[in-house]
Each structure stands twice: as structure tokens, then as C-alpha cells.
Structure 1
Amino acid sequence: MQLPAFPSSLLPALGHIMRPLVRLMLRKGVTYPRFAEHLKRLFVDVAEREFGLDGLPPSDSRISLLTGVHRKDVKRLRGGQELDEGDLPENVSLGAHLVSVWLNTTPFCLRPGRPQPLPRLASVGGGCSFDALVAEVSKDIRARVVLDEWLRLGIVRLDEQDRVHLEAMAFIPQHGFEEKTAYLRHNLHDHACAAVHNLTEDAEPFFERSVHYDSLSVASIEQLRERVSEDGMRMLIAFNQLAAELEAHDLPSADQRQRMTIGLYFYTEPSSPTGSDPTKADRP
């Protein structure tokens, strides 16, 4: 079997995508041999899961041919521990759910998107307290445990009246590397899945658009940063409210349940002096 030649533009594009990830690995002490072994396992895992024939799992020889990984290593890696492809960690998914309720559900918000400061204790605020908010989502975890963790992460603050204020309009930890890593994994994975789908599938493409300029001043960048922060968060809160309303009425069977991610990002860096002509809008 002869494998098709890959497009000449693919490797440079993948290298460009990997550059910030390599920067992250070097800053956090992940060496090339360590990552190369993990990447080898990943190649074998994807080939095993997604490149079978006639509904049957591929043989070691076929995986070796597809991936270029030596057959001896394929056999070793197929018998090892499975790669972690699970959902967001429980503490992160619970936190996101709590913030969604705080943003969208009375009496915890003045109106959708306007969370109220909540008295910390139910003995003071009753059904409109932080204790009540946590109890709305889970009866198995104490509100004090959630509060202490959220104070550590910078998600909430306490005022002099012992009221809890939501500092981030979505579950975005200000501190806590493990929590931030969970969102790195989730958000970049789903963005990459949408982009790969649009490149490789004949089905309806996922929405993936961006706007970019390369000749702006620092002052203009700051103005855009503030505008994206305000309008972008307003848009995400509106999508969050709609998704919460739809989920409350949906009753899909277990095999019909769908998950989705909607994202928005902003990035800036100095323009290359030899950069190409500015392009106003980018489309896949």
C-alpha cells in the first residue's frame, strides 16, 4: 500500500501552529525526548482508533505503515496505558456550571448576564446566598470549600459586608496552573477539531472566522483590546444564556447527546517588518 503524498504547505503550517506550544513546553521543562515519546503514543492511538478497515481495528503492521512508528514500538504502545482524553476535570466543570447558574438564574442574578453579589451564608441571604448557589448545583460539596478555592483562583472576592462578588464573567481562573491547563486543552482541542474538519471533510463547515490587521498603533491595539473584552464577553454571555435555556428543555437520549464549544480570542504582537500586505478578513 502506498500512502498519498501530503500537501507541501502542511508541514510549515503545522510548525507555525506548534511554535507557541514548543515555547510553553520549554518554559515548563518538557524536553524534546519526553514530548517525542508522548507524540509517538498519540500517533499510534489515533491510528488505532480512527483508521481501521471495514470496522475492524488496524493491525500493528498497518499502524506502523500509517504512522512511521516501528512495529516493535507499535506493539509496546498499544498494550500500554490509554491516553487521557476525558472531559474537563470535575472541579473545573463544576465551577463553570456554578458560574452559569449565577449569571442566568434568579435570584442569583438581577437579569441574565448581571450576577448579584451574594451574602456568603444562607443564614443571612437565605435562598439568595452563596451557600444556596452551591446547593443549587451540588448537594455533595460544601460551599466553604468552593469559596476558598475560588478566592485562591481569583474568581470571586469578599467585600466588607461578607458578600461574594463574581470577578470573572465566566469561569476563567486568574491563578492556578492546573485549571488554566484544563482550558488550554479543551479550547485549543476544539478549535483545532473545527479547523481540521473544515480542511478534510465534505460536510458543512464549522464557523471559523477571524479579522486581522498588521499596521496598527499601540493605542489602537489597546482600544481594540478593550472593545473585544467588553463586546466579546457580552456575546459569550448571550450564547451561554441561550445554551442554558435550550439545555433546560432538551431531553435527548444518552446516545443523542451533543456537546459544543463557542470561542472568541484576541492576540497581538509586533508586526514583521517584512510582512505581507495587510489582509482585512481571514476565511478558511
Structure 2
Amino acid sequence: MSGDTPRSLDQATLHAPLARLLRPLVRLLIRSGITFPMLAELLRELYVNVAEYDFALQGKEQTDSRVSLLTGIHRKEVRRLRGAGAPVNVVPATVSQTSRILARWLADPEFTDGEGQPLPLPRNAEPSQPSFERLVASVTRDVRPRAVLDEWLDRKLVVIDGQERAVLVEAAFVPRGGNDQQLYYLGRNLHDHIAAAVANVEAQSPRFLERAVHYDGLTKDAAEQLQRRSREVAMQALQKLNREAHAASDGVMPGEWRWNFGVYVYCEEVAPSAAAGTSTNSNDEEPRT
């Protein structure tokens, strides 16, 4: 990572991209019953929290007055909110547990076939044979494998085939709408994507890969075909990197760094007035690395 001093951007230049990235979040908030005053209170807490910890001067105590100056929030409010702020690094136990078990099932050669696909696993087997019980026990001994299997069957992450084996299904990769796991990754993945993009904007040279291929003026059939194909390519990349990350980290003493590789696909119909005059082209930006 570069040690470049972050660049300061003019407020007006941030208005349009900020409005665009916030629009789908505002839509989600309104649908979820989170009103503007509720969001304003959360933003007030976050402004104080970020100013308190991320903009402290080295060797100097961060004061209420300086936080107030940085944020535009009255000192009385700053004093009330110091030490507050929404937790951003807390991983729900069920999310962590499920993710670790799934990651091992998809990456560990013991639980995958010659092509790297997850094996159907008998509930129990000989100690030397792969099984669902052995899979869960290799990750955690805090819960019974039967309890995990029952939960996963209920959540339709696995099915039991005719040979009484647990089979991982595609739904395991896509959390159900609005559940704790999906909401956790909403925050985590959007945070990391935005953090990478912001780091690139602030730095003199891009620090992270953050690119997209985009075409306008497509037919519906072409757009849907590209969406299907991009899902296939994305899943191949995710599974390959999961195997490599598992091999690099399994059995190694834990460190203090984290890594996230994400892929997104988006497709929508554009109103004729907005699409008029557009041409079909791809992203021609220089590679961001």
C-alpha cells in the first residue's frame, strides 16, 4: 500500500457520485421503515466516531472542539456521542460459523472431488472418511454436527440425496433475502468496495483493483445472456480463490490482516429517454491495481 498523502477533493465534485451511490441505500431504508431522522442520528454518531478515531493528530489528544470543527456538530452533541458509533467489525456468530464450514467444504481437498467441486457427504462415516460430521468438527466443536445439518436443511443450503448424503446446493452461495447473513454481507462487502474506491480516489496512484466491464444499448436477450455468463465466470473465480486462500491459511498461525475479493453483476432496463444517444462500449479506463 502506498504512503501517499490523501488528496483533497472539491465538495461539488463529490455531490453527483455520492447521490448516485446513496440512492439504492435510501430506497432500502425507506422500504425498511428507517426514516430520515433515524438515519440522521446514525450519521451524526458516525461523523463523531470517524473524526474521533480516524482524524486524530499523532501525539495529541482528540478534543471535543476539534471533533466539532471537523464535523460541524455542536460540542454538546459531540460530548454526548464520543465513544459511540455503529460497530462495523462485529461478525454474527452464525455467519462466521456458516462461512467457515462452507469455505472448507468448497476448498479442502478432503471434501472436494478431482475438479474441486464439493463432495456429497454422508452424515457419519469411518473416522478416515469424509463426512458432514467430520467437516463440521474440523471447523468447530462448539456445536453438534446434527444441529448444523438440521439448520442447513431448514435454510435449504443442503439437501439429502437418495444415499442419505448431504449435498450442497446453489442456495448456499446466496443468502436468503433479509436474513442476518445477507445483511451482514451487505455491510461488509459494500464497505470494502467503497473503501477500495475511496482509497484509489485519494491516492496519487490506485492502490486496489476496482474495475468494471459495462455495455449500454443492449437488447434484453443480450443483457440476460451476459448476466448468466458473468455469474458462471464469477463463481469460477470465487471458488478458485477460495481454494488458494484456504491452502495459504490452513494450519498457519493467525495474523492481523484480512483480505476480501468480491464480484458483483448488475443489469437493468434503462428508460428510452435516458438511453437515447448512447453507444455500446466497454470500460476503457486504465487498469486499477
Question: Do they fold alike, i.e. is TM over 0.5?
Answer: yes
* 1:160 pairs with 2:162: yes
TM-score (norm 1): 0.89
- What is the alpha-carbon distance in structure 1 between the residues aligned to residue 136 and residue 9 of structure 2? 54
- What is the alpha-carbon distance in structure 2 between the residues aligned to residue 264 and residue 136 of structure 1? 28
Unaligned segments of structure 2, at least 5 residues: 1-7
Residues 105, 246 of structure 1: alpha-carbon distance in 2 compared, 3 angstrom cutoff = same
Question: Which residue number corresponds to residue 13 of structure 2?
Answer: 9
Aligned AA (1:111): G
Match of 1:205 among 207, 210, 224: 207
- What is the alpha-carbon distance in structure 1 between the residues aligned to residue 115 and residue 62 of structure 2? 50
Count of residues paired in the alignment: 276
1:201-280 maps to which residues of 2 (within 5 A)?
Answer: 201-202=203-204, 204-248=206-250, 250-251=252-253, 254=255, 257-272=256-271, 273-275=273-275, 277-278=278-279, 279-280=281-282
Aligned AA (2:98): G
Aligned AA (2:274): T
- What is the alpha-carbon distance in structure 1 between the residues aligned to residue 52 and residue 235 of structure 2? 40
Aligned AA (1:166): L
Deviations 1:25-49 (A, max 9, x none): 1111111111110110000000000
Match of 1:129 among 131, 139, 150: 131
Question: Which residue number corresponds to residue 55 of structure 1?
Answer: 59
- Name which of structure 1's ranges 37-46 and 62-71 shifts more when overlaid on structure 2: 62-71
Residues 9, 203 of structure 1: alpha-carbon distance in 2 compared, 3 angstrom cutoff = closer
Question: Which residue number corresponds to residue 3 of structure 2?
Answer: none
* 1:93 pairs with 2:112: no
Q: CA deviation at 1:251?
A: 4.3
Question: Which residue number corresponds to residue 36 of structure 1?
Answer: 40
Deviations 1:77-123 (A, max 9, x none): 115x4531224322112211111211122331113631111112347
Q: CA deviation at 1:270?
A: 1.2
SS of 2:159's equivalent in the other structure is strand
Match of 1:83 among 86, 110, 115: 86
How large is the RMSD of aligned CA atoms in angstroms?
2.3
Q: CA deviation at 1:199?
A: 0.7
Q: CA deviation at 1:193?
A: 0.6
Q: CA deviation at 1:262?
A: 0.4
1:100-111 maps to which residues of 2 (within 5 A)?
Answer: 100-111=103-114
Percent identity over paired residues: 40
Contact 1:157 1:166 (C-alpha < 8 Å) held by counterparts: yes
- Name which of structure 1's ranges 91-100 and 144-153 shifts more when overlaid on structure 2: 144-153
Unaligned segments of structure 1, at least 5 residues: none
Q: CA deviation at 1:206?
A: 0.2
Which portions of structure 1, spanning 4 or more consecutive aligned residues, are displaced by more than 4 angstroms?
249-252
